[in-house]
Amino acid sequence: GQNIDQPTEMTATEGAIVQINCTYQTSGFNGLFWYQQHAGEAPTFLSYNVLDGLEEKGRFSSFLSRSKGYSYLLLKELQMKDSASYLCAVKKVRQSNYQLIWGAGTKLIIKP
Amino acid sequence: DTEVTQTPKHLVMGMTNKKSLKCEQHMGHRAMYWYKQKAKKPPELMFVYSYEKLSINESVPSRFSPECPNSSLLNLHLHALQPEDSALYLCASSQDAGRRERGTDTQYFGPGTRLTVL
């Protein structure tokens, strides 16, 4: 089967750092995406990891360990606008296409 | 430019109505997707078009009918919907649909159509 787990909700303080974890169990793994989604809006692409290690992009970094089935998204210097849901999604090859298997999302609440 | 546009933004329809959702991208992407998203849930894949051909249908009821008139456009025709079909309908596109496994093939989402079925 396939399973993706993320915490349901996290709270952090403006200016601080927060790490959102994602664990997965799936066959046919071909990469992992992180998306940000503000309430009522579409998901916005944040990062993609296919090899083990850390990818840094400004205030956001994403890490992947394929052997552990584990990824995290690290957000630094938190701003109020970072309050959103963060979804991890595993890319899985299917037939001659691919699909995304989505986690349920982590709602991040930033407090002043 | 990573823009995917969707119209309309909001749609209210009765159970006997026929309506269509439209999606457009001009990034030269050859894969397009329809998702349905309920509140506080992740997107749920409905259909995948690859090179203008339907490649994945996630056992979606026939009251939803997708159409891909050309590589830039994707429609979703709605007929005889149920109130439980009320949701945010998201369109996405990616450069390819998995033929190049090493590529990121990032899916870029449109703003969505908020559908309410009365």
- With beta carbons under 8 A apart, name residues in chain B contacting A42: 90, 109-112
Interface test with B, best of A36, A100, A108 (most B CBs within 10 A): A100
pLDDT at B74: 98
Phi, psi at B83, each rounded to 5° = -55, -30
pLDDT at B98: 59
Alpha-carbon gap, residue A32 to B69, rounded angstroms: 31
pLDDT at B105: 81
**B30 part of contact set with chain A, CB < 8 Å:** no
- Residue A1 pLDDT grade (very low, low, confident, very high; cuts 50, 70, 90): low
A81: left (phi over 0), alpha (psi -120 to 50) or beta: alpha
**B100 part of contact set with chain A, CB < 8 Å:** no
* Residue B53: how many other CB atoms lie within 10 Å: 8
Region of poorest pLDDT, from A8-12, A15-19, A72-76, A99-103: A99-103
pLDDT by residue (tens digit) across A21-60? 999 998 888 899 999 999 989 999 999 999 999 999 999 9
- Residue A14 pLDDT grade (very low, low, confident, very high; cuts 50, 70, 90): very high
> Which tokens is B116 given?
């309410």
Closest-CA residue in chain B for A49?
B104
Strand partners, A28: none
Mean pLDDT confidence for A54-82? 97
Question: In a 3-state reduction of DSSP, which class is residue B6?
Answer: strand
- With beta carbons under 8 A apart, name residues in chain B contacting A99: 45, 48, 56
pLDDT at A20: 98
CB contact (8 A) between residue A43 and residue B97: no
Closest-CA residue in chain B for A4?
B42
* Three-state secondary structure readout of A19-77: EEEEEEECCCEEEEEEEEECCCCCCEEEEEECCCEEEEECCEEEEEECCCCEEEEEECC
Residues of chain B under the 70 pLDDT cut = 1-2, 97-104
Give exposure, A49-71, as e/b (b: 16+ Cβ within 10 Å). Answer: bbeeeeeeeeebbbbbeeeebeb
Residue A36 contacts residue A42 (beta carbons within 8 Å): no
- With beta carbons under 8 A apart, name residues in chain B contacting A92: none
Alpha-carbon gap, residue B4 to B19, rounded angstroms: 20
Beta strands in B1-118 (DSSP E): 4-7, 10-13, 18-25, 31-37, 44-50, 53-57, 64-70, 73-79, 87-94, 108-109, 113-117
pLDDT at B1: 60
- Residue A103 pLDDT grade (very low, low, confident, very high; cuts 50, 70, 90): very high
Q: Which residue has the higher pLDDT, A97 or B112?
A: B112
